[in-house]
Amino acid sequence: MRLQQPRGSYSQVSEIERNRTIESADRANHKRGQDVEIGEGRLFLTDDSTNVRYEIYMTSGTLSVRTV
């Protein structure tokens, strides 16, 4: 996210727009304690002990894992 630089003087309209931008970006973030839906994105997990990366994916209703 890239926010505009503040203006030289206070503007309520600019402040409202800045807040909307921040709130919109915040809604797009995953939160702890909430369900996570990936949708068209991909899910990768990394094994800390081996540094092996795994992709979790679904094809035709079958959940699969592969190393990447």
Question: Which conformational region is residue 19 in: left (phi greater than 0), alpha (psi within -120 to 50 degrees), or beta?
Answer: alpha
CA dist list (Å): 61 to 12, 23, 57: 50, 35, 10
At 3 the pLDDT is 78
Residue 55 lies in a domain: yes
Residue 58 lies in a domain: yes
Residue 26 lies in a domain: yes
At 26 the pLDDT is 92
One-letter amino acid of 63: L
63 neighbors 56 (Cβ within 8 angstroms): yes
Q: In what order do the strands lie in the sheet with 53-59?
A: 43-46, 53-59, 62-67
What range defines the domain where residue 62 resides? 12-67
Number of folded domains in the chain? Answer: 1
Residue 54 lies in a domain: yes
Kindly give the confidence (pLDDT) of every residue in the chain, 68 residues in length, as a single tens digit, with 9 standing for 90 and above: 777 788 788 899 989 999 999 999 999 888 889 888 888 889 999 999 999 999 999 989 999 999 99
Residue 17 lies in a domain: yes
Residue 5 lies in a domain: no
